[in-house]
Amino acid sequence: ELQIDRPYVYNEYLRLATGEVFRLKKIGVRSSKFEDAEGNVMAMTNSEFSKQRITNLSKRATGYAGSALVEFPIAVKGGQAMGILSRTLEGCKKAGTIGQKFEVWAEKTGKDSFTLGASFECKNYDGIARVRRELNLAALEFVQKGGK
Dist. CA 71–CA 9, nearest whole Å: 37
SS3 65: strand
pLDDT at 54: 86
pLDDT at 2: 46
- DSSP for 79-148 reads HHHHHHHHHHHHHHHHTTSEEEEEEEEEEEE-SSEEEEEEEEEESSTHHHHHHHHHHHHHHHHHHHTT--
Per-position pLDDT tens, the chain of length 148:
444 455 677 778 888 888 888 888 888 888 889 988 778 899 999 888 888 888 888 766 667 778 888 999 999 999 999 999 999 999 999 999 998 889 898 988 899 999 998 988 887 778 888 999 999 999 999 999 887 6
Backbone angles phi, psi at 124, to 5 degrees: -135, 160
pLDDT at 59: 64
* Cβ contacts of 20 within 8 Å, gap of 6 or more: 36
pLDDT at 14: 87
SS3 59: helix
For the four alpha carbons of 105, 107, 110 and 114, in that order, the dihedral sign comes to negative
